[in-house]
Amino acid sequence: MQRVHTGWLGRDVISIRDFSREQIEELLRHAHQIRPDPELLRGRVMASLFFEPSTRTQLSFATAMQRLGGHVIGFSGVEGSSLAKGESLQDTAKVVEKYADIIVIRHPLEGSARLVADTVSLPVINAGDGANQHPTQTLTDLFTIQRFHGRLDDLKIGLVGDLKYGRTVHSLALAFTRFRKIELRLISPENLRMPPAILRELDGIVPYVETSELDLRDLDVVYVTRIQKERFPDIEEYEKVKGAYVIDLKACEQLRRDAILLHPLPRVDEITPDVDALPQAKYFEQTRNGVPVRMALLRLLLGA
């Protein structure tokens, strides 16, 4: 095993902004090397608090913990917890702190993971807070890009779909400020553009163009997202943009041979199933990569 740099033990993972390039690279190096080891986190407990639906994030965190010998407690949805009785998020966090060594939280409110991190002394990992951030998905995305392209600099990246409410693309776009010679093509309907606050952080560091046209030519990475129906204040607005982009075999004719097509999943209708067989389709491998990335992260934070 490699030497672990200081600064990981006990830290929170709330925003991708919390990480330098060196730290991202260190985490990815660990993720490339980590193997199941039932002794590494033996007896340690991860509390998995999911207030919003999740398949991949929840199960990959649980898989990661179990492959390192740790245990998982928690809930998904408020029905089975005392939150249904009106307990506050802070009180729930203070209780969970007494049972666990680390907390993983997904919650519909922006800022909720930070609130929990400020309430407890355990390390807290943000597994998605509303439309804000999803840093461990971004680490998984970077790991996948690095595996296929062998680098995280000098890349042309297209982000497609719901750039307004999609937390995965907010975290990912910000992560690219840590790398060199990145060009972003931000492809979305007019009313689902990347939030101005994120664009301001890109300004002067990562050149970007905003467009509504599904132009996938010359991109190294095409990152497709689901329109985030549950975050629209007005369902009629959703109806106007649903199905805005469909990546089908015809659209994929634009893709370079060595391009990779990513999607954090779940998909609804953004990528047709026949695309899955194309050599560029890497979203299921991307999903699998969530496990070693989360194993490496748990190991670093728990100092095993």
In the complex, the residues that contact ligand NCD under the rule CB under 6 A are 56-57, 128, 134, 137, 167-168, 226, 264-265
Token readout for 4 is 């672990």
Chain position carrying tokens 């800022």? 111
CB of 60 to ligand NCD, least distance (A): 9
CB of 111 to ligand NCD, least distance (A): 16
| Nearer Cβ to ligand NCD (15/137) | 137
b/e burial code for range 219-240 (CB count within 10 A of at least 16 → b): bbbbbbbbbbeeebeeeeebee
CB of 110 to ligand NCD, least distance (A): 12
Q: How many whole angstroms separate alpha carbon 11 and alpha carbon 301?
A: 6
Rg of the Cα trace of the chain?
19
CB of 105 to ligand NCD, least distance (A): 13
CA atoms within 13 A on the CB side of 275: 25
Token readout for 301 is 């934070």
| Nearer Cβ to ligand NCD (134/294) | 134
Q: Please, which residues have CB within 8 angstroms of residue 86's CB and are 6 or more apart in sequence?
A: none
Phi-psi region of 109 (alpha: psi -120 to 50; beta: other; left: phi over 0): beta
CB of 259 to ligand NCD, least distance (A): 21
| Nearer Cβ to ligand NCD (235/257) | 235
| Nearer Cβ to ligand NCD (15/304) | 15
| Nearer Cβ to ligand NCD (92/168) | 168
∠ at Cα 74 (73, 79), nearest 5°?
150
CB of 41 to ligand NCD, least distance (A): 22
| Nearer Cβ to ligand NCD (57/289) | 57
